[in-house]
Structure 1
């Protein structure tokens, strides 16, 4: 077994260690090398309980004395989505990095019922609970895709006073314009990600994952992604769908560093939503990735990690 495959097996056990169960491992080779990432970084499982009693799986990496970065993943994803950031040795030396499985995802609890998923308050309180229980001092929030809405919920409920900055990554920051949706956004609906029946559910999830990338993951990486996507059951995905959310006022009120990153090949969310976010937030920076789809942090990790590090330094210095 290669060192990289052994490392991937360890990463697939994150949630299992935190929650007292085992996951089937899946190996993977890097499609694009990340500088200074020769060794796997250690992590600490940190379970957190939200105010409504939902148990959240959290994972801590890197320098405990460094500026804090809190990674929030997208619809049906997991903390493992951020593997190419959390396992980057240069980032780990400098920053305290925390990733969570959102409620209903990964190894976090998956209660049934719309009250656990529809209100924006529960998502806002999840983020605040992680910040408080883990003692994250002025973290930078990094939110991918659906997590843009989670950040919007947090800002609406709790404001931005406890944050150093926000990094939106191909993120949903508004539901107000159908033009913000890409040609494959329909895959988030009943024909794919919300399909009834196990065969259609698995196939629809695989179709959505394929649509997220310009450069497709290798088979082993794709196997890992499909595995952690399937940990988000239909009742959770349905609970996330159709939530109201108008975050324009919260965006306009921001007075802290904001970076907006977006892949120009994104078929889920059009680049117009990134331009909207950058134009709405005073002083926001916009960074477009011509060669990436919905997940530039995976497709171009070297560039993404360098820009993330520079942004966190800027935000922490305020």
Structure 2
């Protein structure tokens, strides 16, 4: 696990439904602003190989822990996680509290839904571009791998089963062997998320095709070709329906930004510079 070049400025923002959201601002650059959104059961620390990466040093980078995760509030009532407007307004709150003007949204996995919720409620006028990273934007079973049952077991009230499933899920996020330190860190940040929160994230609609088809901002779709969580078919679908979307494939699993960070960061930086021009 590579350490960031500097510590972030950490602060909190309060959402419309009175949840405290933990935000990390990794500093300013002259390039476009990037807002990184993590996936199911992770947190902003998942972007550890981006926030200090030399390839991205010219950009302002902000990460945050969405509701129920990391250092943010974790209400156990499922209704805090079921309504699209809550997710949309939470993302809008983070953008405003961070002082971002037209950020590039970089969303991994479950964050595809969060970005979709934001687009449906707020539109894309205030967004500079979008990067979908192994992102989920539809419910069709053909768009998913073989980890659904495992992720359901992560919702178990039985702690032993929960831990075993979480460890297995973290390993399944990668196609190749990873350093033990990285795997241990990811298991630790996953276990911060209560089982009830994980369960609440399931079984809500993902109907974003109309807003994706209407996008007229730069869009990059990045996908691990060996992803066993969100199938590559999802990325091809997004790239097909979003006008002029670019597709970048990596010979790795569900987390190309961790498994192939150098290639990922180079492509992301090139995309961001293109947004600026």
Mapped to 1, the partners of 2:68 and 2:7 lie a distance apart of 25
Deviations 1:80-134 (A, max 9, x none): 1000001213413x11100000110000010121221110111100110011121
Paired residues for 1:253-264 under 5 Å? 253-264=214-225
2:21 aligns with one of 51, 56, 59: 56
1:296 matches 2:240 = no
Q: Does the CA contact (< 8 Å) of 1:91 and 1:305 recur in 2?
A: yes
Q: Where does residue 242 of structure 1 map in the other structure?
A: 203
Q: Where does residue 71 of structure 1 map in the other structure?
A: 36
- Between Structure 1 and Structure 2, whose CA radius of gyration is higher? 1
Paired residues for 1:152-171 under 5 Å? 152-171=116-135
Paired residues for 1:91-130 under 5 Å? 91-92=56-57, 94-130=58-94
Q: Where does residue 211 of structure 1 map in the other structure?
A: 172
Mapped to 1, the partners of 2:55 and 2:130 lie a distance apart of 21
Deviations 1:137-185 (A, max 9, x none): 100000000000000000011100000000000000111x211111223
Mapped to 2, the partners of 1:268 and 1:275 lie a distance apart of 15
Q: Where does residue 5 of structure 1 map in the other structure?
A: none
Q: Does the CA contact (< 8 Å) of 2:31 and 2:276 recur in 1?
A: no
Query: How far is 1:228 from its partner?
Result: 0.4
Mapped to 1, the partners of 2:17 and 2:29 lie a distance apart of 28
Q: Does the CA contact (< 8 Å) of 2:104 and 2:130 recur in 1?
A: yes
Query: How far is 1:41 from its partner?
Result: 2.3
TM-score normalized with structure 1 length: 0.84
Mapped to 2, the partners of 1:213 and 1:99 lie a distance apart of 22
Q: Where does residue 82 of structure 1 map in the other structure?
A: 47
2:228 aligns with one of 267, 282, 290: 267
TM-score normalized with structure 2 length: 0.97
Deviations 1:237-293 (A, max 9, x none): 111111112110110010000000000110111110000000010000001112x10
Query: How far is 1:64 from its partner?
Result: 5.0
Q: Does the CA contact (< 8 Å) of 1:49 and 1:55 recur in 2?
A: yes
Aligned residues between the structures:
277
Q: Does the CA contact (< 8 Å) of 1:62 and 1:91 recur in 2?
A: no
1:133 matches 2:93 = no
Question: Gaps (5+ residues) in structure 2?
Answer: none
1:186 aligns with one of 132, 135, 149: 149
Q: Does the CA contact (< 8 Å) of 2:31 and 2:273 recur in 1?
A: no
- Which is further off, 108-117 or 256-265? 108-117
Q: Does the CA contact (< 8 Å) of 2:25 and 2:98 recur in 1?
A: no
